[in-house]
């Protein structure tokens, strides 16, 4: 599925479409260049799921946890990982296989650790305000 977003005001609708398209998938992986809008999109997805607190990038903490009515949302930023073993050391399996939502930025840092099924979102910046989202269930 392809979604074109022409401004920030289009993100809430895009988030709803992505969640609907994902169906039962709760693992989401985000691909895109630095500054493409991964964290911005994740903020909208979290809001659509019921997160009421401010969603921030877990660049230094690696994972942030948010509470929603149906459980939790985990937001990962693996950009700073040097090796996949760092994700093993932090106990990634407890998060990925918890049945809760997981939003994973920079999944290319942990290619061998991704679960068998997830929703892949590739973000391409077309201009300062326009983004193309390619959404695929794997």
Each residue of 8-30: pLDDT tens digit?
899 999 999 999 999 999 999 99
d(CA 101, CA 95): 9
Residue 58 CB contacts under 8 Å (≥ 6 apart), including other chains: 64, 75, 76, 77
User: Is residue 135 pLDDT above 90, yes or no?
Assistant: yes
Per-residue pLDDT, 59: 78
Count of C-beta atoms within a 10 Å radius of residue 72: 16
Structure tokens at 108: 């290319």
Q: Residues 54-79: what's their mean pLDDT?
A: 92
Q: Residues 68-92: what's their mean pLDDT?
A: 93
In percent, the amount of the chain with pLDDT more than 90 equals: 88
Count of C-beta atoms within a 10 Å radius of residue 93: 12
Per-residue pLDDT, 81: 93
d(CA 111, CA 100): 20
Contact 42, 105 (CB under 8 A): yes
Per-residue pLDDT, 58: 86
Q: Residues 81-97: what's their mean pLDDT?
A: 93
Domain count, the chain: 1
Q: How much is the mean pLDDT over the chain?
A: 94
| CATH number of the structural domain spanning residue 60 | 3.40.50.300
Q: Residues 110-122: what's their mean pLDDT?
A: 96
Instruction: Give the domain range for residue 35.
Output: 2-137
Phi, psi of 17 (to 5 degrees): -65, -40
Radius of gyration of the chain (CA): 14
Per-residue pLDDT, 61: 84
């Amino acid at each position: 599925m392809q979604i074109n977003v022409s401004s920030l005001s289009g993100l809430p609708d895009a988030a709803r479409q992505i969640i609907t398209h994902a169906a039962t998938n709760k693992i989401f992986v985000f691909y895109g260049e630095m500054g493409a809008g991964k964290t911005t999109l994740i903020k909208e997805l979290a809001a659509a799921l019921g997160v009421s607190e401010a969603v921030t990038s877990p660049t230094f903490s690696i994972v942030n946890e948010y509470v929603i009515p149906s459980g939790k949302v985990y937001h990962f930023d693996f950009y700073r990982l040097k090796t996949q073993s760092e994700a093993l050391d932090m106990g990634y399996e407890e998060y990925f296989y918890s049945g809760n939502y997981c939003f994973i930025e920079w999944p290319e840092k942990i290619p061998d650790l991704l679960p068998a099924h997830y929703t892949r979102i590739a973000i391409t910046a077309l201009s300062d305000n326009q983004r193309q989202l390619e959404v695929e269930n794997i």
